[in-house]
Amino acid sequence: MDSRTYIGRVRGLGSAKHGGEHWLKQRLTAIGNISLTTWLVVSLLLMPNFDQATLAQWLAQPTVAVPMILMIVNIFSHARLGLQVLIEDYVHDEGLKFGAMALLNFYVVASAVFGIFVVAKLAFTGASA
Amino acid sequence: MKDAEIMAKNPNRPLSPHLQVYRWSPQMAISIFHRATGFILATVGMITLLWWLSAIGGGAESYATFQKYVVSAGESATGFETAVNWFFRLLGLAVTFSFFQHLASGIRHLVLDIGAGYELKTNRTWASAAFIAAFFATAFVVLFVASRFLGV
């Protein structure tokens, strides 16, 4: 016997369990990625040289560190959404799927925190190599 | 009954058609390429980006290590170092192509999302255009890297 209401029974169903939220987030982070990676590619093409000292000074500037951190957060969010779909499509065993999703979350969160820390440290403590 | 239980009972039940069933065309190729290039970017691409950033933050010596592997092993490189260098260069080429391919086909997806570009001919044209754009952008980066870093 299921005494829940009809809406209660269907909520949270579907393979993603989040309705349209995942789809919309994927598109919004995609638009963010287009702007932020275009900024990175143009910056790299305009770089006078690729010595460590030049790059460190470049990266330590607030006008570079801030978009770089935004790009790291945005890229890893977008990658999490995309790899989630790959897991949902190709990993059919419930246990393996749970494990793969957990690993994916560890991977993206750890990587993003690492990247943000690297950029923040350089920006806050200066590019003294 | 759960999907997994159904599969365990009858593993030979019909599956939805997969890649090998379809005739290759730009429209179907761009779909699977979007997925494959996204996977490459999310793994190799992002790890390389983090390696590059942490090498910059780590100082001259750690940046030299990054350069030795990914850009050029230099004149005095051993055979093994040169081989490792070429392995990373090929990965770099794959990441560069993946970036432009995923970008072009992602923009195509955003256009399709607003409901435009579904007419058969238009759809085919833009699918081909995305591949061509990715190819030329990659070629441009390869020439840029070759002239700036490798003295070609």
Q: What was the pLDDT predicted at A99?
A: 97
Convert the pLDDT of each residue in A4-35 to its tens digit. 888 777 776 666 566 678 888 999 999 999 99
Which CATH number goes with the domain that contains A45? 1.20.1300.10
Domain regions of chain B by residue span: 26-149
Convert the pLDDT of each residue in A48-85 to its tens digit. 989 999 999 999 999 999 999 999 999 999 999 999 99
Domain count, chain A: 1
Q: Known binder of ligand: residue B102? A: yes
* Residue from the list B99, B110, B148 with its beta carbon closest to the beta carbon of A30: B110
Convert the pLDDT of each residue in B44-78 to its tens digit. 999 999 999 999 999 999 999 999 888 888 777 78
Number of A:B CB contacts under 8 A? 72
The hierarchical CATH code for the domain B26-149 is 1.20.1300.10
Query: Mind spelling out the 3-state secondary structure of chain B?
Result: CCHHHHHHHCCCCCCCCCHHHCCCCHHHHHHHHHHHHHHHHHHHHHHHHHHHHHHHHHCHHHHHHHHHHHCCCCCCCCHHHHHHHHHHHHHHHHHHHHHHHHHHHHHHHHHHHCCCCCCHHHHHHHHHHHHHHHHHHHHHHHHHHHHHHCCC
When scoring B19, B56, B114 by the number of chain A Cβ atoms within 10 A, the one with the most, hence best to mutate, is B56
With 70 as the cut, is the pLDDT of residue B1 above it? no
In a domain, A73, yes or no: yes
In a domain, A30, yes or no: yes
In a domain, A43, yes or no: yes
Q: What was the pLDDT predicted at A79?
A: 97
Parent domain of A105: 20-125
Convert the pLDDT of each residue in B21-41 to its tens digit. 888 899 999 999 999 999 999
Q: Inspect the interface and report whether the beta carbons of A119 and B53 lie closer than 8 Å.
A: yes
For a pLDDT cut of 70, what percent of chain B falls above it?
A: 92
- List of chain A residues whose C-beta atoms are within 8 Å of the C-beta of residue B49: 72, 75, 115
In a domain, A115, yes or no: yes
Q: Inspect the interface and report whether the beta carbons of A55 and B63 lie closer than 8 Å.
A: yes
Q: Inspect the interface and report whether the beta carbons of A94 and B4 lie closer than 8 Å.
A: yes
On whether any CB of chain B is under 8 Å from the CB of A4, the answer is: no
Distance (Å, rounded) from C-alpha B44 to C-alpha B99? 11
In a domain, A82, yes or no: yes
- ipTM of the complex in this document: 0.85
In a domain, A102, yes or no: yes
